[in-house]
Structure 1
Amino acid sequence: MDLGLKDKVAIVTGSARGLGAAMVQRLAEEGAKVVVTDIQREGAEATTAKLKQAGFAAHCVVGDITKAADVQRLVDETVATFGSVHVLVNNAGAPRDKYLVKMAEDDWDLVMNVMLKGAFLATKAVMPKMIEQGWGRVINISSRAHFGNPTQANYSAAKAGLIGMAKALSMEEGRYGITVNCVAPGFMDTEMVQALSTYEVIKEKAIAAQPIKRAGQPSDIADAVAFLASERASFISGEVLHVTGGRYG
């Protein structure tokens, strides 16, 4: 199926590794020109080099998504390199899981700044270009955690906020041919999760709670993002696509 993404320009925040790296890979496979951006220079440059070696059009911009100047530089460099920006995936995240009584103010602020402020800054920066060209896709990476998880008051609040933001912006920007949606992953078998000392326990509990009895893979999220970024999803906006193996609450 042709998703209509050939030569579209896509920025994926937090794309040095994990879900973000899978997203840029999938979008590149569909013919998009992709911008890898992350605060982690080594990982971002390695992911970009891998894409280029495979023959894809890719560019790397290292920066802090919580800094307005860095975000504007990201967008300006994207337009200078590839001519425009058509797709923005707000994927950057920074979990700091603790029970509320042990959660420091910095734990709250970091999660909110990376996920919500970062999505606000990035979306605001790309919107004028999308409005000008009359076409755009903004995809916020939320989480099943928007329903709530213990030890994740900050994370759950931020992920729920991304959904509210998407619904509001879908109403604002639809007149310009711009859709705004969310993907909400469930348990994903990523490098970050695999590195946890409790990985096997977490995985077992998650799969037990899912109707589909396997761990989610980064490619599952990348496929959902590619669909929502495509022409095939042009009449879908303000929605949340749960990719959770059937688990919701």
Structure 2
Amino acid sequence: MSEAQQVTLVTGGSSGIGRAICEALLAEGRTVLNLDIRAPDWRHERLISLQADLTRQDQVEAIARDIAARYAVTALVNNAGATRPGSIDSATMRQLDDVVGLHLKTPITLVQALLPALRACGHGRIVNISSRAALGKPERIVYSATKAGLIGLTRTLALELGGDGITVNAVAPGPIATELFRNSNPEGAPQTRRILDSIVVKRLGTPEDVARAALFFLAPENGFVTGQVLYVCGGTTLGVAPI
């Protein structure tokens, strides 16, 4: 590898939850590689940003090869995502293709490319950002299906890679106050009010709430937790998610 520094790779780190995760990792002193469709409007001396359309498999494969050749990635956060709201009546195959690319193809492609470095360090960490919607959510047919698939991917990778010292876990956020959430749930709209009323702790989550959960799974010393899903949801999964 031409650049020897060990880095944590975060997809979709330019804004929202991904940015909060990047900033938390940078605060720990890590070097962070952000892979997003657009460049961030913020800077840090240890932040390296690359751009690619993660719904395009050809671009993902090319950038994955480049990252694997240049960096020793010891931790990976598969965060990039898109909601594509719609019911079964309105969902299109183009929408499905896009979110399958973001939520499933990109994580698998990146894991395959980065496995040598993840194995070599002896404490590789993979965190997949799923969603509370994986348990079912109206008007999110393609989103919930692929986020549920990401949980299945998490559990299987944990079984396959545990012997290499690599842990694989998922964080599943509930309602988080991001631009993505606001676009789908305008302030004052009836569905937004229903969401707020359903939150046990009576507030929306913040990107930093999710980042703190991700940092727990990413810590090199937390090697005895793998294959798990942590719902960061303000209690909205109570009575829904299994124990």
| Partner of residue 231, structure 1 | 220
Residues 1:145 and 2:133 aligned together: yes
Name stretches of at least 5 consecutive residues in structure 2 with no aligned partner: none
2:208 counterpart of 1:213: no
Q: Does 1:46 align with 2:41?
A: yes
Alpha-carbon distance in structure 2 between the residues aligned to 1:126 and 1:71: 13
SS at match of 2:72: coil
Is the 1:71–1:125 Cα contact (8 Å) retained in structure 2?
A: no
* In 2: Cα distance, 1:94 partner to 1:204 partner: 22
Q: 1:32 aligns with which of 30, 33, 52?
A: 30
* Distance in 2 between residues matched to 1:180 and 1:31, nearest whole Å: 22
> 1:52-74 CA deviation, whole Å, 9 max, x = no partner?
3xxxx111111122445533554
- Alpha-carbon displacement from aligned partner over 1:135-180 (angstroms, at most 9, x marks no partner): 2111110000011111111111101000000100001001111000
Whichever residue aligns with residue 140 of structure 1, its letter is N
Give the alignment's Cα RMSD to 1 decimal. Answer: 1.9
| Count of aligned residue pairs for this structure pair | 233
Change (3 A) 1:162 1:206: same
Q: Which of 139, 152, 176 matches 2:164?
A: 176
CA deviation vs aligned residue, 1:181-233 (integer Å, no higher than 9, x gap) = 00000000012323456333344322211211111000001111111100342
Partner of 2:60: 71
| Secondary structure at the counterpart of residue 102 of structure 1 | coil
Q: Tell which deviates more after alignment, 96-105 or 18-27.
A: 96-105
**Which residue of 1 is the match for residue 88 of structure 2?**
100
In the alignment, is residue 122 of structure 1 matched against residue 110 of structure 2? yes
Give the aligned residue type for 1:151: E
- Asked if residue 160 in structure 1 is aligned to residue 145 in structure 2, the reply is no
CA distance in 2, matches of 1:160, 1:197: 21
Confirm or deny: 8 A CA contact 2:7 2:74 kept in the other structure. yes
Q: Does 1:59 align with 2:48?
A: yes
Equivalent-residue separation in structure 2 for 1:71 and 1:108 (angstroms): 17
- Rounded to whole Å, the distance in 1 between the matches of 2:82 and 2:188 is 22
Kept in 2: contact 1:146–1:159 (CA 8 A): yes
- Do the aligned partners of residues 72 and 132 (structure 1) sit closer, same or farther apart at CA in structure 2, a change above 3 Å counting? farther
Higher helix share: 1
Residue identity matched to 1:146: A
How far 1:244 sits from its partner (Å)? 0.3
Residue 222 (structure 1) aligns with: 211
Q: Report whether the alignment pairs 1:113 with 2:108.
A: no
What SS is found at the alignment partner of 1:180? Answer: strand
Q: TM-score when scaled to structure 1?
A: 0.86
Q: Distance in 1 between matches of 2:182 and 2:154?
A: 30
Write the letter of the residue equivalent to 1:188. Answer: I
CA, structure 1 residues 216+203, in 2 after alignment: closer, same or farther (shift >3 Å)?
farther
Q: Which amino acid aligns with 1:46?
A: D
Report sequence identity in percent: 35
Structure 1 unaligned blocks of 5 or more: 1-6
